[in-house]
Homo-oligomer: A and B are copies of this chain.
């Protein structure tokens, strides 16, 4: 599309303008807000940002003009940790947990990730694509324009490739941008329960080279936890992945302090995710290595746990922090970054400004997209969301509510719940 897009009269245009790198410490509280702000985009790229009175005259006469009507305008959320391609839902386990079972007990009895693996294996690529399309719409509808998307519910060569191909199709055929991560080491599948080493070899010797050869993933992730993949297992998988050119991510210190953070630092990972049990030494190791901590408080909330990642200690130490949904059918079935912001503010004592930074530019940094995504600045992609409130702090404050009313991806309006009246050509 070559038509210009002009957005005017944002009560707050939350630009997050600043250095194209991870924001740390006090930088996380600097949102570079413009009052009565406006943005102009051309060919999907932002070309002007400023006060409405300055930007509006620069627009072509036939620009598509969206009056923000005093809503808050900010970058689309970059959700840097999701598992969006799966078959079946797990509300039965949700009910069991309410009745007193733990996530680990349910997993031990054949539920958990393995239950989703069975159903995902049984689903065709087309079926998974159709399910994925619905979820892509859901994510976009809640203001997310880019997600990191993991495989990990296949756990065979063919099923992992199937999931990664679905992620590629979703990226190509929906408005949502998906950045693919291979997570073959998500769980030991049932048929390898008594031959763990064989499964690890399958991941290293067959899956990783195939995924690399087909160019299906940009990152490799491992669920590093003492009862799943140990630090040594994880190091072997991720070292091979690095050799093959993948970036590295790591599920680390989620359920216990098992050394994942140190490993992430040692390997120069892009991110270490979860970190509920990380200690101060782990925080310092991550900071020194420039690894971004991706916090997933939705899983803590949804599992009814009380130990959240030590966000304040991380921010105070100067560690870069991002927030993500962990969208998946077991531990965190929410597509809403807004919900995650509410949990982060109330349960982890992050400020509203810090959570916005964590959910946009810092998420983009963890995916290597900081030059293109995560802020509203000239030269960046026009991924922009209008939220139906007058102050950005109301996005987490009015919780359990979807504030996103207009979503723009690469300069195109892909969600508009406001109806025709508010969208007009000039």
The docked-state distance in angstroms from the alpha carbon of A332 to that of B98 is 23
The docked-state distance in angstroms from the alpha carbon of A351 to that of B96 is 8
| Given A334-B400, A399-B333: A391 in contact with B98 (beta carbons within 8 A) | no
Query: Cβ of A352 and Cβ of B95 under 8 Å apart?
Result: yes
Q: Which of B90, B340, B391, B400 contacts A339 (CB 8 A)?
A: B400
The yes or no answer to A393 lying at the interface (CB within 8 A) is yes
Query: Cβ of B345 and Cβ of A94 under 8 Å apart?
Result: yes
Query: Cβ of A89 and Cβ of B302 under 8 Å apart?
Result: no
Residues of A86-102 at the interface with B, using a CB-CB cut-off of 8 Å, are 89-92, 94-95, 97-100
Query: Cβ of A351 and Cβ of B304 under 8 Å apart?
Result: no
Q: Which of B98, B302, B401 contacts A402 (CB 8 A)?
A: B401
The docked-state distance in angstroms from the alpha carbon of A164 to that of B98 is 39
Copies of the protein in its oligomer: 2
| Given A95-B393, A301-B346: A335 in contact with B401 (beta carbons within 8 A) | yes
Which residues in B have their C-beta under 8 angstroms from that of A352? 91, 94-95, 98
| Given A351-B95, A351-B99: A398 in contact with B333 (beta carbons within 8 A) | yes
Closest Cβ neighbor of A91 among chain B residues: B393
| Given A89-B394, A100-B349, A349-B100: A399 in contact with B304 (beta carbons within 8 A) | no
Query: Cβ of B391 and Cβ of A304 under 8 Å apart?
Result: no
The docked-state distance in angstroms from the alpha carbon of A101 to that of B394 is 18
Count A interface residues, CB 8 Å.
43
Query: Cβ of A346 and Cβ of B304 under 8 Å apart?
Result: yes
The yes or no answer to A350 lying at the interface (CB within 8 A) is yes
The yes or no answer to A336 lying at the interface (CB within 8 A) is yes
Query: Cβ of B94 and Cβ of A334 under 8 Å apart?
Result: no
Residues of A102-134 at the interface with B, using a CB-CB cut-off of 8 Å, are none
Query: Cβ of A397 and Cβ of B91 under 8 Å apart?
Result: yes
Which residues in B have their C-beta under 8 angstroms from that of A334? 398-401
The yes or no answer to A338 lying at the interface (CB within 8 A) is yes
Closest Cβ neighbor of A354 among chain B residues: B98
The yes or no answer to A174 lying at the interface (CB within 8 A) is no
Query: Cβ of B306 and Cβ of A338 under 8 Å apart?
Result: no
Question: What's the nearest-Cβ distance from chain B to residue A71, in Å?
Answer: 14
The docked-state distance in angstroms from the alpha carbon of A334 to that of B345 is 15
Residues of A316-354 at the interface with B, using a CB-CB cut-off of 8 Å, are 333-336, 338-340, 342, 345-347, 349-352
| Given A303-B346, A346-B304, A347-B304: A400 in contact with B338 (beta carbons within 8 A) | yes
Question: What's the nearest-Cβ distance from chain B to residue A403, in Å?
Answer: 11
The docked-state distance in angstroms from the alpha carbon of A402 to that of B345 is 21
The docked-state distance in angstroms from the alpha carbon of A400 to that of B333 is 9
Which residues in B have their C-beta under 8 angstroms from that of A100? 349
The docked-state distance in angstroms from the alpha carbon of A394 to that of B92 is 9
The docked-state distance in angstroms from the alpha carbon of A45 to that of B273 is 52
Query: Cβ of A401 and Cβ of B336 under 8 Å apart?
Result: yes
